[in-house]
Amino acid sequence: MKTDFLVIGSGIAGLTYALKVAQEFPQKNITILTKTQSDETNTKYAQGGIAGVTDFDHDSFEKHIKDTLISGDGLCNEHVVEIVVKEGVQRINELIEWGAQFDREPDGDYKLGKEGGHSENRILHHKDVTGKEMERALLEAIRRAGNIKLINHCFVLDIITQHHLGYLVTKSTPDIECYGVYVLNLTTKKIEKISASITLLASGGNGQVYRSTTNPAIATGDGVAMVYRAKGRIENMEFIQFHPTALYEAGVRGQSFLITEAVRGDGGILRNAAGEAFMERYDERKDLAPRDIVARAIDNEMKINGTEFVYLDCRHMDQEKFLEHFPNIYAKCKSIGIDVGKDMIPVSPAAHYSCGGVKTDEWARTSIKNLYAAGECASTGLHGANRLASNSLLEAMVFAHRAYKDSIALISNISKEHRQAVIPDWNAEGTTAPKEMILITQSLKEMKLLMSDYVGIVRNNERLSALIVGWIFFTKKRKHCTKSWKFHHNCVNCET
């Protein structure tokens, strides 16, 4: 298959880019690939909303910039922060033009929520299901566009570069180029090749690397892994953000239900096992301190008290208002026997967001030619060590737009050699089908355990060393690879 523009991922980043290039180039083909159903994305589960300066009477770009920098712990790229905050408002307006609806006050102004680290109310939301509403509006706009093909159940495996054309590619190869991708078609179970002039990687996050996460099953970091294998640049992967308040449900594995930070923005209070409102002991901003501080405080309280959760107390809040703003959370709690007006909600931190990823410049260009990256898989420099709440959807839109702008010039400069390159079929040599899936599912469980226990919210040298020892044991036990403790690309012994 050949396409002009190839988009990997159907979340906010991929869909925004696809819509824009489709509008600009009605004669060209745009193909979006997605691993499962088109709406099964991190985007769909976003609750709190999208941050943006819309109320200029109380708020300003300067305040949003300052909040983002403080939250990022001194490691944000200030120029990128300015770009996102200032351009974000136009992107939010486009989203509204595409049909997304945000809650409004009776006078027509937007209802603006507040979350940890924000000095002002600036978060536009659609009750507590903002992402679902955005994904709905974007997918409807995609269906209306005539030149976009959205293909579900296509698992992208590898980015095609000169390596696949028979050349040696290393991390120091200057002009690595992307020619398209190899894809496992989950319907036909065949591996197919797709050539593309321009590819956008919008494959989302990697929360599923941990045992407890707010991310759905699709969030396994595939895009970052592909770029790493293709010898592209990756950065800041150590900055995994843990959300302080995932609903604690004993025995629930996989995706944890989120209790949005906006609940604390509306007055919810964290309490430990003894009922003490402990956040004031950790930070003067109490329950609305930036996310990393709150998550570490909860982790500490749980360790001191030997508990698996703390409580979020909403009993004092106006219950009618709670139900109006958070109907989804109210219903979920009710379904497991928690009456938010009478009972405290058990919560614990869970892996939530990857601040690092594929390194991009201010036009979303990666280190690989003809390959852009936007959304959670990209590392733009916005978040530093800790993302400010509700800045992710904003960043995804801003950089999808910038990738589109840059693509306008790039598409007319794609060389004939690139377009006509002969891509070989997928080489399955050395791979075997597992006789029993347990070999894979057990390895996955072990990896999640190791990551959660040793590379969690608080890390130290001892735990990281223990991880490496565990990893050696784990990989040797798996396949007796004698080369080293690391996995190897295309190594039969490692079964990567």
Per CB under 6 A, the list member of 12, 80, 259, 355 interacting with ligand FAD is: 12
Other C-beta atoms closer than 10 Å to the C-beta of 88 total 24
Q: Identify the bridge partners of residue 180 per DSSP, sorted by sequence position.
A: 160, 195
The conformational region for residue 230 under phi > 0 = left, psi -120 to 50 = alpha, else beta, is alpha
Q: How far is Cα 391 from Cα 85, in angstroms, rounded to an integer?
A: 9
- Footprint of ligand SIN on 256-315 (CB under 6 A): 260-262
Catalytic residue among 91, 211, 264, 291: 291
The answer to whether residue 202 forms part of the interface with ligand FAD (CB under 6 A) is: yes
- The verdict on whether 291 is a catalytic residue reads yes
Binding residues for ligand SIN, total number by CB under 6 A: 10
- Footprint of ligand SIN on 225-264 (CB under 6 A): 260-262
The answer to whether residue 228 forms part of the interface with ligand FAD (CB under 6 A) is: no
Q: How far is Cα 242 from Cα 264, in angstroms, rounded to an integer?
A: 16
Per-residue burial over 254-273, b = 16 or more CB atoms within 10 Å of its CB, e = otherwise: ebbbbbbbbbbbbebbbbbe
Per CB under 6 A, the list member of 15, 201, 389, 400 interacting with ligand SIN is: 389
Partner from ligand FAD, ligand SIN, none binding residue 354, C-beta < 5-8 Å depending on class: none
- Footprint of ligand FAD on 242-301 (CB under 6 A): 258
Partner from ligand FAD, ligand SIN, none binding residue 288, C-beta < 5-8 Å depending on class: none
Q: How far is the CB of 71 from ligand SIN (least distance, A)?
A: 11
Partner from ligand SIN, ligand FAD, none binding residue 261, C-beta < 5-8 Å depending on class: ligand SIN
172 burial class (0-12, 13-18, 19+ CB within 10 angstroms)? exposed
Other C-beta atoms closer than 10 Å to the C-beta of 417 total 8
- Footprint of ligand FAD on 109-168 (CB under 6 A): 130-131, 154-156
Long-range Cβ pairs for the range 432-439 (8 Å, 24+) = 432/492, 432/495, 434/495, 439/478
The answer to whether residue 47 forms part of the interface with ligand FAD (CB under 6 A) is: yes
Describe the crossing of helices 61-71 and 78-97 by its angle, rounded to 10 degrees. Answer: 120
Per CB under 6 A, the list member of 198, 396, 403, 450 interacting with ligand FAD is: 396
Measure CA of the first residue to CA of the last residue in the chain; give whole Å: 26
If the CB atoms of residues 50 and 263 are measured against ligand FAD, the closer one turns out to be 50
Partner from ligand SIN, ligand FAD, none binding residue 12, C-beta < 5-8 Å depending on class: ligand FAD
The answer to whether residue 46 forms part of the interface with ligand FAD (CB under 6 A) is: yes
Partner from ligand SIN, ligand FAD, none binding residue 72, C-beta < 5-8 Å depending on class: none
The answer to whether residue 390 forms part of the interface with ligand SIN (CB under 6 A) is: yes
Per CB under 6 A, the list member of 48, 180, 207, 375 interacting with ligand SIN is: 48
The answer to whether residue 358 forms part of the interface with ligand FAD (CB under 6 A) is: no
- Footprint of ligand SIN on 78-97 (CB under 6 A): none
List residues near ligand FAD by CB under 6 A.
8-14, 33-36, 41-43, 45-50, 130-131, 154-156, 202-205, 214-215, 218-219, 222-223, 258, 353, 375-377, 390-393, 396
List residues near ligand SIN by CB under 6 A.
47-48, 115, 260-262, 353, 389-390, 392
What residues are labeled active site?
291
